[in-house]
């Protein structure tokens, strides 16, 4: 891409940076200084490209998208940017010639962990895809001082440490104090009915939002997306207080403001009803909407055309307050009438739903909401009144009105606000979008059917294949030529090699190399020697009961006990690998981690089992660790109870790296199954309708106690694993009162799971067949690219065009 950036030029630039900024020659520079110098060089290239991209966009008066999300799980940026800029190779060569290890430099970069899991990672992949396609899509989020906690396992128990990502991460952020805005909390609203209806917000506390910009380069083009992260402070006011001599008050106010952007809430798929969380949400949206309007006005001088030139995406309900915030600005600051303001709002916002689980659906108590956001509360009330009126007119059914109301029984329902105001509502896989339409939001989809669409999630094939598995990527390029990096559906043509033994052998060889690399890491971090010829069976994702790591763990325990009983039984060696963070307050999830660690301890120290079975829990699962594990995986465990996982993206990343999905008919597994055909996937367990029927007719987990495998497992949990009793886990499955036990039907699916695991082992024995399955998975993974998802968002929802001809 960048013709001028050859190895020699890069070497020269690195040396200049080292000299200018650190006053050292390369031979005396530390790795850290090399890292910082490299980032500076990348940043300079990005700034230049960004400037051109924006000016090309302005010249065309092209419509923009702003993607609002409380989480962006970026991971590391250096290698990604070098790759996308097309200078990874010359850069690596330059570093080598300066006698340093580029992988050591890459490893120095902390993950930017401003997200919990799938939701935040999706947002990060989307910015990458949008830039790579040349679409003008920018992200907004919060510059959390502390991202997702670092996980340390101590005696099997998860402990949380603060994530000090800014040391080493801040080099990617450019502060723009000149574009800071003020966000107002608390206080009262005065209504003034003079000549004009005038609203005044008094006694508020103001917080200053300072933007920090992170640039994300497109691949093989000159587009650059911007991720604007807001940091909270109160510099505004303390100057005045300082001058009045109120030193302590000034410092206190500053500290109170700064807590807002202090820490990411570490729960995934679970609503945290804390008032600080509500402040974070409003802080993000108020700052972002003000910024969007400022940018728009700087070019168009009117906001009448806002919805023609801007689409704002609300990713999950967390940024839903952007809706009343835009109303506030139009009504209170620009004197729009309600109807005109509402027309603009309803043509501007689109919403993606990411979960159907009740504990994740956001509702806020009216009281908290009213106290913290008095003006926004009034506007939500008015939106609700008008909406309720409208649905009553449509259906004449007051029961239905109360079900669809935004405010009901003292609570504000954020999803209802989103569906009411947004012109588009999408789910994230076919099955999930169906569940939304026919069950969770059925009332809405019956009255407003055209709002509801599906866009299946995607992932960046460039990060998750090209960068993290360069050997596989290189081999694919050898076989089918380049082009699949930007058009991953071309990988379909790998199918012509499905019966080519040489190709299949070569794929196995690459997998083996990646397994050895992971085995080294496991040895170093966990002091466990794993058998590189065993099946690497991987379950990596947030720890959540619905994801059923427990099902996997119980099955391992059963395998072990059977192997102990009968050491000569027919058994193909396995290495089970887990990675998962639990929300710090989620006790059962932490217990399940502890169970996995206890199982691992008992098995791994048992000499009689030796090479046959090992269990590894890798701590601090995060993007950079995923990049190491996924290329080495052979079985991809996607075993959530049908109807609970909205899509999953881990399943897609593992697929493109040749792992075989062993999973339920849930989320995107259903589409993976369609894509590869049932011979190339291992599907088991209850289907969504069967889950529904069981729930309707009464699910009695104790019925499964008749299964000898299950009864012995329950006894085993009570009597202890590696000396620790897990009575509480057993109780959660069979002990509780009717309707409370085993909410995710682990026992109902256990036998089916055990059988499909047996099937997996038997298929693995046939190496040719297994490698062929693997090839088919790689070949069929193209449809899950984030590029495809972003094309769909652009065409179906945002109605935006690519910015071409950027020089």
- Which residues are designated catalytic? 354, 541-542, 547, 649, 653
| Minimum distance, C-beta of residue 602 to ligand PLP, in the bound complex (Å) | 27
Closest CA to 141 of 236, 53, 265: 265
Complex with ligand PLP: residue 73 or 780, whichever CB lies closer: 73
Give whichever of 90 and 118 is closer to ligand PLP, judged by the CB atom: 118
Paired tokens of 168 = 């080493």
3-state secondary structure string across 48-93 = HHHHHHHHHHHHHCCCEEEEECCCEEEECCHHHHHHHCCCHHHHHH
Q: Can residue 218 be called a binding residue for ligand PLP (CB under 6 A)?
A: no
Nearer to ligand PLP, 253 or 539 (CB): 539
- Rounded distance, CA 275 to CA 368, Å? 7
- Distance (Å) of CA 186 to CA 48, 236, 375: 41, 17, 9
Measured from the CB atom, the residue of 63 and 121 that comes closer to ligand PLP is 121
For ligand PLP, the binding residue among 648, 658, 663, 685 (CB under 6 A) is 648
Tell me: does residue 90 bind ligand PLP (CB under 6 A): no
Contacts of residue 136, defined as CB under 8 A and 6 or more positions apart, other chains included, come to 53, 57, 62, 63, 64, 65, 130, 800, 803
C-alpha angle 207/208/211, rounded to 5°? 140
CB of 669 to ligand PLP, least distance (A): 10
Instruction: Single out the segment in contact with ligand PLP by CB under 6 A; choices: 48-56, 82-90, 277-285, 643-651.
Output: 643-651
Closest by CA position to 789, among listed 137, 60, 68: 137
Is residue 482 within 8 Å of residue 456, measured between CB atoms? no
632, two tokens: 């080495």
Q: What angle do CA 274, 325, 148 make, to 5 degrees?
A: 40
* 618, burial (CB in 10 Å: exposed 0-12, middle 13-18, buried 19+): buried
Give the range of 116-124, 209-217, 300-308, 559-567 binding ligand PLP by CB under 6 A. Answer: 116-124
The yes or no reply on residue 117 touching ligand PLP (CB under 6 A) is: yes
Cβ nearer to ligand PLP, comparing 158 with 384: 158
For residues 620 and 749, which CB has a smaller minimum distance to ligand PLP in the complex?
620
Judged by CB, which is closer to ligand PLP: 161, or 256?
A: 161
Instruction: Specify the residue, 518 or 734, whose C-beta has the smaller distance to ligand PLP.
Output: 518
121 sits near ligand PLP (criterion: CB under 6 A): yes
Single residue of 557, 623, 682, 721 touching ligand PLP by CB under 6 A: 623
Query: Which positions from 125 to 144 touch ligand PLP by CB under 6 A, shown as an x/- string?
Result: --------------------
At its nearest, how many Å lie between ligand PLP and the CB of residue 624?
Answer: 8
> DSSP strand E in 393-476: where?
407-408, 411-413, 424-427, 452-454
Q: Which stretch binds ligand PLP (CB under 6 A): 334-342, 620-628, 764-772, 776-784?
A: 620-628
Nearer to ligand PLP, 421 or 626 (CB): 626
Q: Is residue 266 at the binding interface for ligand PLP, with CB under 6 A as the rule?
A: no
What DSSP element (H or E) covers 652?
Answer: helix 650-656
Phi-psi region of 741 (alpha: psi -120 to 50; beta: other; left: phi over 0): beta
DSSP assignment letter at 640: P
211 binds ligand PLP (CB under 6 A): no
Nearest to 204 by CA among 438, 371, 364, 426: 371
Residue 112 or 234 with smaller CB distance to ligand PLP: 112
How many Å apart are CA 143 and CA 255, to the nearest integer?
16
DSSP β-ladder status, 157-161 and 150-154: antiparallel
Site string for ligand PLP, 501-540 (x = CB under 6 A): ----------------------------------------
Give min distance, CB of 119 to ligand PLP, in A. Answer: 8
Region binding ligand PLP by CB under 6 A among candidate stretches 114-122, 529-537, 594-602, 763-771: 114-122
649 near ligand PLP (CB under 6 A): yes
Figure out which of the listed residues 90, 110, 118, 573 binds ligand PLP, where binding follows CB under 6 A: 118
Q: CB of residue 612 vs ligand PLP: minimum separation in angstroms?
A: 27
State which residue, 279 or 622, has the beta carbon closest to ligand PLP: 622
Q: Which of 355/424 has CB closer to ligand PLP?
A: 355
Task: Give 413-417's long-range contacts (Cβ < 8 A, gap of 24+).
Answer: 413/361, 413/362, 413/363, 414/317, 414/320, 414/361, 414/362, 414/363, 414/364, 415/317, 415/320, 415/353, 415/361, 415/362, 415/441, 416/444, 417/317, 417/320, 417/323, 417/324, 417/380, 417/383
CB of 467 to ligand PLP, least distance (A): 13
Q: Report in angstroms how near the CB of residue 15 gets to ligand PLP at its nearest.
A: 35
Which residue sits closest to ligand PLP, CB atoms considered? Answer: 650
Structure letter (DSSP) for residue 21? I
Q: How far is CA 454 from CA 125, 173, 435, 792, in A?
A: 18, 34, 11, 9
622 binds ligand PLP (CB under 6 A): yes
Sign of CA dihedral 165, 169, 173, 177: positive
- How many residues touch ligand PLP (CB under 6 A)? 12
Closest CA to 806 of 44, 58, 299: 58
CA-derived radius of gyration, the chain = 27
With contact defined as beta carbons under 8 Å apart, do 285 and 325 qualify?
yes
Q: How far is the CB of 648 from ligand PLP (least distance, A)?
A: 4
Least distance between ligand PLP and beta carbon 699 (Å): 25
Stretch that binds ligand PLP, among 601-609, 645-653, 709-717, 735-743 (CB under 6 A): 645-653
Nearest-approach distance from CB 567 to ligand PLP, in angstroms = 34
Taking the complex as a whole, the smallest distance from the CB of residue 751 to ligand PLP amounts, in Å, to 24
We find the least distance from the C-beta atom of residue 640 to ligand PLP, in angstroms, to be 9
Helices 31-60, 7-17: inter-axial angle, 10-degree rounding = 110
Among 228, 437, 541, 754, binds ligand PLP (CB under 6 A): 541
Asked whether position 650 contacts ligand PLP by CB under 6 A, the answer is yes
Stretch that binds ligand PLP, among 49-57, 298-306, 435-443, 647-655 (CB under 6 A): 647-655
Residue matched to tokens 């910009």: 213
Of 298-306, 340-348, 568-576, 619-627, which part binds ligand PLP (CB under 6 A)? Answer: 619-627
309/26 Cα distance (integer angstroms): 48
- Candidates 176-184, 210-218, 289-297, 618-626: pick the segment binding ligand PLP (CB under 6 A): 618-626
Q: Is 11 in the site for ligand PLP (CB under 6 A)?
A: no
Nearest residue (CB) to ligand PLP, 672 versus 780 = 672
Distance CA(436)–CA(453), nearest Å, equals 10
Among 522, 577, 626, 691, binds ligand PLP (CB under 6 A): 626
Q: Give the Cα separation of 651 and 670 in Å (integer).
A: 11
| Cβ-based neighbours of 612, under 8 Å, separated by 6 or more | 531, 534, 563, 571, 573, 574
Listed ranges 327-335, 414-422, 621-629, 750-758: which one lies at the site for ligand PLP (CB under 6 A): 621-629
Could you list the beta-strand ranges (E) of 664-705.
Answer: 682-683
Which value, to the nearest 10 degrees, does the dihedral of the CA atoms of residues 67, 70, 75, 78 take?
Answer: 50
C-alpha 789/C-alpha 399 separation (Å) is 37
Provide the minimum distance between the beta carbon of 544 and ligand PLP in the complex, in angstroms, as a whole number.
Answer: 8
Binding site for ligand PLP (CB under 6 A): 117-118, 121, 541-542, 622-623, 626, 648-650, 653
């Amino acid at each position: 891409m960048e013709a001028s950036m050859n190895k020699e030029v890069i070497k020269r630039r690195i040396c200049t940076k080292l000299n200018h900024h650190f006053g050292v020659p390369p031979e005396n520079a530390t790795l850290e200084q090399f890292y910082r110098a490299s980032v500076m060089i990348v940043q300079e290239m990005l700034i230049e490209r960004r400037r051109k991209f924006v000016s090309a966009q302005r010249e065309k008066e092209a419509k923009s998208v702003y993607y609002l999300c409380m989480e962006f799980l970026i991971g590391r940026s250096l290698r990604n940017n070098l790759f996308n800029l097309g200078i990874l190779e010359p850069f690596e060569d330059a570093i080598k010639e300066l006698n340093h290890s580029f992988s050591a430099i890459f490893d120095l970069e902390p993950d930017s962990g401003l997200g919990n899991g799938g939701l935040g990672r999706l947002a990060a992949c989307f910015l990458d895809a949008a830039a790579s396609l040349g679409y003008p899509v920018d992200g907004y989020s919060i510059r959390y001082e502390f991202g997702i906690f670092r996980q340390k396992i101590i005696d099997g128990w998860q402990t949380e440490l603060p994530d000090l990502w800014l040391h080493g991460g801040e080099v990617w952020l450019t502060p723009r104090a000149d574009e800071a805005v003020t966000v107002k909390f608390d206080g009262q609203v005065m209504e003034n009915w003079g000549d004009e209806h005038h609203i005044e917000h008094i006694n508020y506390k103001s917080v200053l939002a300072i933007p920090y910009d992170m640039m994300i380069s497109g691949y093989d083009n000159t587009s650059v997306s911007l991720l604007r992260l807001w940091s909270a402070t109160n510099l505004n006011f303390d100057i005045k207080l300082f001058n009045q001599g109120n030193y302590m008050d000034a410092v206190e106010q500053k500290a109170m403001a700064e807590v807002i952007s202090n820490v990411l809430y570490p729960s995934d798929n679970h609503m945290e009803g804390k008032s600080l969380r509500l402040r974070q949400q409003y802080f993000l949206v108020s700052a972002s909407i003000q910024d969007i309007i400022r940018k728009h006005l700087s070019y168009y001088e009117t906001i009448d055309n806002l919805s023609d030139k801007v689409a704002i995406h609300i990713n999950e309900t967390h940024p839903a307050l952007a809706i009343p915030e835009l109303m506030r600005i139009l009504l209170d600051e620009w004197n729009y009438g309600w109807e005109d303001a509402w027309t603009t709002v309803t043509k501007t916002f689109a919403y993606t739903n990411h979960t159907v689980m009740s504990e994740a659906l956001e509702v806020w108590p009216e009281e908290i909401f009213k106290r913290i956001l008095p003006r926004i509360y009034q506007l939500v009330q008015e939106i609700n009144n008008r909406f309720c009126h409208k649905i009553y007119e449509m259906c004449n059914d007051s029961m239905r009105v109360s079900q669809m109301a935004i405010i009901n029984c003292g609570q504000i329902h954020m999803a209802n606000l989103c569906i009411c105001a947004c012109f588009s509502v999408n789910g994230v896989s076919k099955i999930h979008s169906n569940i939304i339409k026919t069950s969770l939001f059925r009332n809405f989809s019956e009255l407003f059917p055209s709002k509801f669409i599906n866009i299946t999630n995607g992932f960046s094939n460039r990060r998750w294949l090209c960068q993290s598995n360069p050997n596989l990527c290189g081999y694919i390029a050898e076989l089918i030529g380049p082009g699949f990096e930007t058009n991953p559906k071309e990988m379909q043509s790998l199918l012509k090699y499905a019966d080519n033994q040489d190709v299949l052998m070569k794929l196995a060889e690459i997998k083996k190399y990646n397994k050895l690399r992971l085995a080294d890491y496991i040895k170093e971090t966990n002091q466990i020697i794993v058998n590189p010829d065993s099946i690497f069976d991987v379950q990596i994702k947030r720890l959540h009961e619905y994801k059923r790591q427990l099902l996997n763990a119980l099955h391992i325990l059963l395998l072990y006990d059977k192997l102990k009983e009968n050491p000569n039984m027919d058994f193909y060696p396995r290495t089970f690998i887990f990675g998962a963070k639990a929300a710090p307050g989620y006790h059962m999830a932490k217990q399940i981690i502890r169970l996995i660690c206890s199982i691992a301890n008992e098995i791994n120290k048992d000499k009689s089992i030796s090479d046959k079975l090992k269990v590894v829990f890798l701590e601090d699962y995060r993007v950079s660790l995923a990049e190491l594990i996924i290329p080495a995986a052979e079985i991809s465990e996607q075993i959530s109870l049908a109807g609970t996982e909205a899509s999953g993206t881990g399943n897609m990343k593992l697929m493109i790296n040749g792992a075989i999905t062993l999973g339920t008919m849930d989320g995107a597994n259903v589409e993976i199954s369609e894509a590869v055909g049932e011979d190339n996937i291992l599907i088991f367990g209850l289907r969504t309708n069967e889950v529904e029927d069981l729930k309707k007719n009464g699910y009695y987990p104790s019925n499964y106690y008749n299964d000898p495998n299950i009864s012995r497992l329950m006894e085993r949990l009570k009597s202890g694993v590696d000396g620790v009793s897990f009575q509480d886990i057993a109780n959660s499955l069979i002990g509780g009162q009717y309707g409370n036990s085993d909410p995710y039907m682990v026992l109902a699916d256990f036998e089916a799971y055990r059988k499909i695991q047996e099937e997996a082992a038997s298929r693995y024995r046939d190496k040719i067949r297994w490698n062929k399955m693997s090839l088919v998975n790689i070949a069929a993974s193209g449809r899950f690219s984030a590029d495809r998802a972003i094309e769909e968002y652009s065409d179906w929802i945002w109605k935006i065009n690519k910015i071409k001809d950027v020089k």
